[in-house]
Each structure stands twice: as C-alpha cells, then as structure tokens.
Structure 1
Amino acid sequence: MRILVTGTAGFIGAALAQRLLARGDEVLGIDNHNDYYDPSLKEARLAQFVDHAAYTHLRADLADAEAVDRAFAQFQPQRVVNLAAQAGVRYSLKNPRAYVRSNLDGFLNILEGCRHGKVEHLVYASSSSVYGANRKMPFAVEDAVDHPVSLYAASKKANELMAHAYSHLYGLPTTGLRFFTVYGPWGRPDMSPMLFADRISRGEPIDVFNFGNHSRDFTYIDDIVEGVVRTLDHPAQPDPSYDAENPNPGTSNAPYRVYNIGNDQPVQLMRFIELLEQNLGRTVEKNLLPMQPGDVPDTWADVSALRRDVGYAPDTSIEDGVARFVEWYREYHGS
C-alpha cells in the first residue's frame, strides 16, 4: 500500500516507517525536524531508512496547509498514520501556542487531506493524557475524558472530537490510539527513561516526582508498532450495536474507533529506575519531589478492546524492555 506517515523523524514514526517498509509498503514520511529536542537524534533515526527505495521524505510542517495538500495530491496515499505532534505535558505549560499550531491546525490539515484524497483509513496518535483527573483504574475507552489537566491532553482529546466529526460528516474511517508511556531504543530524550539513563550513567542524582509514588504503564516500542500496524490494517467500521441513547465513547454509528494501546501492566516508577540502575551498573541518589503541574499519579491501560478487535498482544516484559533500551543507549552513546 501507499502509506503517508507523519512524524517519521520521531520515536514511534521512525520505528513504524521501518516496519512498513520491511513488509513492502511504499511510505511518504513528513516531519518538520523542529528543535523541541536534539535534532541530531531525529537525523540518526532517519538515517536508518531514508535511503530505502520505497521511502520518500518531505521536510514540512503540518500547519502548512499548502504543503500538506500538495503531499496528498502527489503521493495519493491509500492510508495515513498521523504521529506528528507537539509532544510533552510539561512543555505545554510553557509554550501553549505550539500545541494549537501543531496538534490542532496541523491535524485539521491532515483530516482535510484524507477527506479530499478519499483515504481508506486514518490512524492517529492520541494519548493516555486524555484521562486527566480520572482516577478509576484501569483506564478504559468507555470512561469519560472530560477533565484534562494539561493543554497537551486537551489537544489530544480535541483530535478525537475532530476525527469523529469527519467520520460522521464524510464517512472517513478514523482510529485514535491512546499511547501509554512508550519507551525503548531511539526514545525521546525529554521522557523519563532517557533522562534517568543520562543521569544514572553520569552518576548524578535524579529527580523523582510525586515522592516516587508514580506508576506507569510502560509499553515497549516494538509492541506499540505491532499494535499500530494491526490497527492500520483494520479500517474503522460503524458499530452495529452503538446505542445513541447510551453512547459508548470508544465507538460510533460512524466509522470511528478509539483504543488504548499499552502494556496493561503498570510498573512502579521506582522499580523502573531500579532496573535502569541494574543494567547500567550504577546506583544514584534520588531527589524525592512533589508532583508537577499537569502530571498524573498513575496510568494503566485497559487494552481489551484492541485485543478483541485486532488481536493486539503486547509481550515484552519490563525487564527485557529495559535491558534492550540500555543496550541501545550504550551503543548510541559509545559507552
């Protein structure tokens, strides 16, 4: 198939592009290479596949409607995976306008491209952050997500609402995936696994928020990519059992779906740090601090809907995943 993937210089986008190329798809990747974090890491990810015969790279911003329209018209994708976004909960407190430009304006341009290009299926990145102040565990797609605690989370909830409008109005099949704490080789340097690994490897103290009482549904990158591909290959369909008088937020009478994609096995943050220390061969001091604004104490994905509909079955244990991450980390940094 011809598949347009946005964010292919990013963590998940680069891994997904390689998986699609390996199975024989033709991929157009779009990324704006912004400097939210070290652009050299983005270039290194791309270097793994940018010269593949079936891959074409476009350096463009999704908020540039003309560039996006031109990409759709020239490539004529059959399916689209939108992973590009301004990421980061904490950064959204400092630079909120970046989230409107990328996550709202940019996503609208993708929706318009899919609509006019008669795309068969749009899969897009949502986030576990949409659960916000919700404290019911595990988080399920049937739960209300009306109380975001960051603008980043609000922008991702807005994406789900925008997608539903296009599914309803134009029959565009859309599937939103709420990612839960993705980690692994080539991960983002602004996320805790890389931040902790950097400081542990240098023997420096690490800041641990919520006094170490966080738990996260850490999900290994390979399991995430497997779930994205399975979802992409199953275009959303109207739910024949949808009841408009008792609506299910995860489905619709339009071709629309929302799923959690996680490991369904939350891990205490202190356990994750312990595994990093074991694999890096060093223990460090922990500065136990209060929870930061916009953060949530715990996440846990109920992935039963994704298991049922596409056969999603994450199988990477936290012990194996951390060991593989540290192996890559040492090789990448030459240590």
Structure 2
Amino acid sequence: MNRPPIPAELRRAVLVEAGHRCAIPRCNNTDIDIHHIIPWSQCKKHEYQNLIALCPLCHRRVHKNEIDRKSLRQYKKLLVSEFSFSDSLSFQSPPIEIKRKLSHSDLSQTKVGFDFEFPDFKDPAARIVSRNIELWGNELLVEYLKGLEVLRKNPMPPEPIIVWLRGRYEVVRRDSYVISLRYTIERFSNYAAHRGIETRVQNFIINPFQPLTILELIESKDSLKQLAELARSELLSSNERKRDHDLVIRGTMPKYENFMLFNFHEYALEFTFERYQIGCGAEGISRIYLHYHMLNAIVKPDVLDILQQHDGFSESMFTREK
C-alpha cells in the first residue's frame, strides 16, 4: 500500500500547533518533519492527534527509542495548552472590524490584486483556529505571488496564472465545541473571460483541538457509501427542483472528493455541491442538511458526540433558518 501524503489541512494544523518549531521542549529547531506517534506501518492513516512536529535530530532520537511515545503524547498535549499563553495576539495582518486581512496590490496593474479575509477569534481556545486560517491565506498569497513573478518574466505564459483572488467567509457555527466556516474564493486568471468561484470550508473541534476534513469525519469507506445513498435520497426527493437522476448519481459517487464541502450546524451537517457537480451550470450551488440523528453509522462516534453538544452561543445559520 502506497503511503498517501498528509493532507494540507492536517500538516498546516500540526505546524501551527508547534509554532513551526520542534515540539520537544527547548529544542526550538525550525527544520521540521511530521512524525506519526504510532508508526504509519501500524496505523495506516493520518490523524491529527497522532501527528507531531519534530526536527530531524529529535526525529532520529524517537526512532532510536531515546524519546518514547508516552513522552511524545505529553509534549503534544502541552502544545495547545501553551498556545494561548505564547500567542502575543499580534498578527502580521492589520485588523478590519472583527476580521483581519491579507492583501496585495500592484498599482501599475489595475486587474491584479489579492484580498483574503479571515476571523480574529479573541478567546484563547479559538485563537489556534485563527492562526490556522491565516496560514492557509498566506499559502494562497504565496501561490498568487509566484504566478505574478511568472507573468513578469513572460506576459504570455503557456498556462493560466491567477492574477486576482478574493476570499470571504461566513461563520456557520461557533461555540465552545466547534468552529465551522464556509469560504467563497473568487479567482480570475490572465486568460479567463469570467471569474471562477469555488467554495472552501474550514472545520475545527475546539477541545481537544482537531481540524476536521472528510477523512477524519467519516467512519469508513462503507460509511461513505451510506452517506452517498443518504445524500442522493435527499437530493432526489427535494421539492425545490426536479433534478436529473443520472447527474445526481454521478456527482454523489462514494468518493471522498465528492463530499469534501461540509459545515456543522447545531443540529445538522450541511453538505455543499458545487456548480456542475450534480446538475447543469444554471442550477448553481446545491446544499442539503442531514440531521445528526441520521448519521449514527456514518460519522465517527466520538466526533458525532461533540457535534451534538452546544452551549447556546452558536452562530448557526441552520437554527436561524428554522
């Protein structure tokens, strides 16, 4: 079995958790590897709670059994608890209302620009979420700047280059247990006649902190098949519109990539299907809500238990619609 790469969301979260330094106390080396506490050969999966940032030297010490697994787990446990105290609250990005922004503009080119907003959560437990999203925004900015450099060297490159990017978010749920955001990313390339729009999501459990992608949410591949059947049933039985059966089946095949866009509400899991995924372009974006009681055999039990808890401070769109 080939070892798949660690998903970007998990790698980013592990690096933010450790402050982009080795997790071993007082090491402070910034040359970082991502280590599986329980070896990959045994677990065969990437999970946030099993990943820790180590420098190459400490990584070798672990493999020589000079640092045991119990110690690694203790070091990882300390990282999040220390985050709120070590965070100086001084982001690199200037504040805009209750948001912060990463931006770049080139006054010599009117159709060039980067504008990415992200939330500035003040409470200590949620600040690691803000840091994760800021780092994601920086990754997009680096990608954008690399494209501009290519254009400066060759005004007519063979591949399209993103010359304009705008990121806006909506807080779908925020409480003591979960933070769930939905992003709209608008892009415009040098060869495009129209802007491209895509949905991206950011989901986090607060305590214990864990970023959640579809791989961490779904119990197994068999559970993914159940989810696909449930989603199809909801889409085809909807009274909102008459959907093309074959297109719905095609867009809800039991593949992880078909269910990557999800958000948490107080009482339901919301899935977003992009334009053209389950219908023609004119139908636009489609969304379905699956109540948590429908997901007992689909979502991992420990995650589902957390999702069903709430403390009255949620900003859930679903509850407002109710």
Q: Same fold (TM over 0.5)?
A: no
Q: Which has the higher strand share?
A: 2
TM-score of the two chains, using structure 2 as the length reference: 0.26
Instruction: Give the greater-gyration-radius structure (CA).
Output: 2
Question: By percentage of residues, which structure has more helix?
Answer: 1
